[in-house]
Homo-oligomer: A and B are copies of this chain.
Amino acid sequence: MRAYILSIGDELVSGLTVNTNCAWLSQQLTGLGIGTSTHLTVGDEPEPIRKAIQEACDKCDVLLISGGLGPTEDDLTRQMIAEALGEKLVEDGCALEQLEHWFKSRNRVMSPSNRVQAQRPESARCLENTCGTAPGLAATKGKTRIFAMPGVPREMKEMFTRSVLPEIKQAAGDRVTLVTKINTYGMGESILGEKIKDLMKRGANPAVGTTVHDGIVSVRIYATGTRDEAIAMTQKIREQVYARLGALIFGENEATIEGAVAALLKERRETIATAESCTGGTLGALLTDIAGSSTYFLRGWVTYSNESKTDELGVPAALIAEHGAVSEPVVRAMAEGARKRAGTSYGIGITGIAGPDGGTEEKPVGTVWLAVASDTGTEARRIVFPGDRKAVRLRASQMALALLRWRILDVGFDTVTK
């Protein structure tokens, strides 16, 4: 099966809104073993929309449309599907009822223009929208199934998952492509790629590749076959990837490094305190991004000024004077001070030069000292991160989480980053 994704909206072709719908939909289709040939985006004008629908139907088995289902005269998707099918629009009683209910349950009056949203081409079906007013449409033209969904991502995703996916799944048969993402932190993509190079042969099934997003290097496995076959093939590759990458791996699919650390701390009933300088609270924000973080995160300091490092964490002023705020002795004292003061299992210290100013030859912009203190002692590490201020701050916070994770797992910092 081949899919074609059509997005409709002036806000998209004008560049006001980045189109994230089509990437999301293609990902969902990949999971069903369905390839996407084309993403097409046109504005809110009748001719281009009608033409796009007609041409797309000749080229695919599934046409997914998003956008243009609103109540205003700009919203032309219903009308243009009807024209492409050579049909008239009729009012759908059930959709009208759902629309009326939507407004009533929110104590709002339905405007007459909303009524047009209950219309559908004669042979089409309406798809319920559980989180907005625009119902979707399902229709068939020749051998092509057409599904029209709202443009608002949240509504589109809900409708796709609830009403479109089950139908496509059935039609797609029992061959699927399972996509598994194994997430790592602490090694660059090219060095990591070398370690699994032999698994990444072109055209192989499962196909294996690497991607980088926000500093996280992921190994992706695409296994195609029946569900059972795909699961078995994935498992074989997974084992090899784990054997080679070990403690660099912190989780799979949607797992985040902060989530992995949070799970470890919760499981062991251990606690953490943070002492941040250049990251300004980014690490604390990551650690508390997880629901229930109060069980392990007790307190944090953003000790931006030298005085605050001394006042709050007990870093000796002489130490800062002698070595500078960005130095191994200071970051060690920060981590130890935070741990002691908060009475936690672990203390993390971060101090560095996020830039764009403040760099020197000896300590260029991007230089960050990181330390983790625990009852077995304190380990520190200096890393020069590439990129701008934003990147340095995020990477330093992620690396702090990675170091903490390795410390909890009792893996030496040097072993894993080699």
Contact = CB atoms under 8 A, between A and B. Distances in A.
A283 interface: yes
A26 B38 contact: no
Interface in A91-118: none
A345 interface: no
Contacts of A13: 26, 35-39
A26 B10 CA distance: 11
A30 B18 contact: no
Contacts of A274: 281, 302
7 contacts: A7-B39, A40-B41, A284-B284, A285-B393, A291-B357, A293-B304, A300-B302
A311 to B, nearest CB: 8
A48 interface: yes
Contacts of A292: 357
Contacts of A140: none
Interface string A154-178: 0000000000000000000000000
A261 interface: no
Nearest to A299: B308
A311 B15 CA distance: 50
Contacts of A40: 38-41
Contacts of A285: 279-282, 284-285, 393
A337 to B, nearest CB: 13
Given A289-B389, A301-B300, A15 B22 contact: yes
A20 interface: yes
A313 to B, nearest CB: 10
B36 A14 contact: yes
Given A211-B16, A299-B304, A308-B298, A43 B37 contact: yes
Interface in A252-292: 274, 276, 278-285, 287-289, 291-292
Given A18-B19, A40-B40, A276-B284, 20 more contacts: A12-B23, A13-B26, A13-B37, A13-B38, A14-B27, A15-B22, A19-B23, A37-B43, A38-B41, A274-B302, A280-B289, A281-B285, A281-B287, A289-B393, A293-B304, A294-B304, A298-B307, A298-B308, A300-B304, A301-B301
Give how many copies assemble into the complex. 2
A192 interface: no
Nearest to A42: B38
A242 interface: no
B280 A297 contact: yes
A27 B305 CA distance: 41
A404 to B, nearest CB: 15
Contacts of A291: 355-357, 389
Interface string A1-36: 000000100001111111110111111111000011
A312 interface: yes
A304 B288 contact: yes
A390 interface: yes
Interface in A331-362: 342, 355-357
A303 interface: yes
A26 B30 contact: no
A55 to B, nearest CB: 9
A299 B302 contact: yes
A342 B304 CA distance: 11
A299 B303 CA distance: 5
Nearest to A15: B26
Contacts of A287: 280-281
Contacts of A29: 15
A356 B27 CA distance: 28
Interface in A370-402: 389-390, 393
B26 A14 contact: yes
